[in-house]
Amino acid sequence: MTTPQTPTRRMAFEIDTADFKSRPVAVIGYGSQGRAHALNMKDSGCDVIVGVRPGGKGDIRAKADGLRTAPIAEAARAASLIAILTPDMTHEAIFRDEIAPNISAGDAVLFAHGFTVHYGRIQAPDGVDIILVAPKGPGDLVRREFERGRGVPCLFAIHQDATGKARDRALSYTACIGGSTAGVIETSFAEETETDLFGEQAVLCGGATELVLAGYETLTEAGYQPEVAYFECMHELKLIVDLLYEGGLAKMHEFISETAIYGDLRSGPRVINAETKARMKEVLTDIQDGTFARDWIMENQAGKPQYNALLRKDLEHPIEKTGAALRSEMPWLQAGSNT
């Protein structure tokens, strides 16, 4: 089990990006994070090559965005830093077949999530820096905030410093994607991986969605209208999350009624209690001891049957039908709408 490390709690660093910008950077993959990182670095003055499958969606989109593209092996060979921004389960094969044969001593390999390195899915060659830069937000937000002259806070970590410059490289990369504008915290691959997985599973995705579904079911099973249950348990969640995001518990309490505050303080612990926390600790233990990673790797190797079944069950929940109907009447939620 990993012993958590105290991070360097600094949000500002002295960063000189001149040397970093003098050498080509390869961004492997052009999905959510890949597109944001590549465009932000290009706009920051970096020489960016996007490594993608020729003729694929990523290749077409990157070229339309004005970026230079190349097959992954060629991009890796041409760059001094290779950022692997494809899905976690693709890293092992991409690194083994396309990147490892085409990197040289003094190069750097960067990840936006520590899963692959922390769980030993690749073997870092001698002479190569292995670094992490993890924006704390989705790629679309990383790009939008950069375009506004702002940024998304980033974590960074060093797994292998072969050149003595790994930390400078990580900080320069962070600056060039806009992260240093918002703030930077130094961590470790283990801490970033384990806390990220835990947050997704217990709070942000798994915990939040299960809480919403349970609330919706409780109200509809008691005879309340599905539409009203949807508004109370899902739609209004954004309003509360925005307040928490902007100012923590204090701002939420400032902007909700005293009745809501009293209900929060009285009933919140009845729903989320010591038993819930014990289940959270089980989730964290599975992450720390590698159980989750092994299960997820095996699930992928088997063709993701359980993943697909559980996802289908989630998307077939009645709240999805109710929500789709209600959102169709809200033009301001439609993509690209200026209403």
What is the DSSP pairing of strand 68-70 with strand 48-51?
parallel
Residue 163 is classified by DSSP as S
d(Cα 176, Cα 27) in Å, to the nearest integer? 13
Residue 200 among known ligand-binding residues: yes
Task: Give Cα separations from 330 to 89, 152, 226, 320 (angstroms).
Answer: 37, 28, 17, 15
The three-state secondary structure class of 328 is coil
Residue 232 among known ligand-binding residues: yes
Residue 76 is classified by DSSP as H
Residue 320 among known ligand-binding residues: no
Residue 172 among known ligand-binding residues: no
At 177, which amino acid appears? Answer: I
Residue 149 among known ligand-binding residues: no
Residue 31 among known ligand-binding residues: yes
Task: Give Cα separations from 271 to 152, 276, 277, 288 (angstroms).
Answer: 32, 8, 11, 26
Residue 254 among known ligand-binding residues: no
| Structure-token pair, residue 118 | 């922390």
Task: Give Cα separations from 95 to 117, 121, 165, 238, 320 (angstroms).
Answer: 11, 10, 22, 39, 38
d(Cα 17, Cα 255) in Å, to the nearest integer? 42
CB atoms within 10 A of CB 208: 15
Residue 151 among known ligand-binding residues: no
Rg of the chain over CA atoms, in angstroms? 22
Residue 66 among known ligand-binding residues: no
Which H or E run contains 213?
helix 206-221
CB atoms within 10 A of CB 233: 20
Residue 337 among known ligand-binding residues: no
Q: What percent of the residues of the chain are helix, what percent strand, and what percent coil, each to the nearest 5?
A: 60, 10, 30
d(Cα 113, Cα 287) in Å, to the nearest integer? 14
d(Cα 141, Cα 40) in Å, to the nearest integer? 12
Q: Which residues are catalytic?
A: 113
Residue 43 among known ligand-binding residues: no
Determine contact, residues 136/44, Cβ cutoff 8 Å: no
Binding residues: 30-33, 53, 139, 196, 200, 232, 236, 257
Binding residues for substrate: 257
Binding residues for NADP(+): 30-33, 53, 139
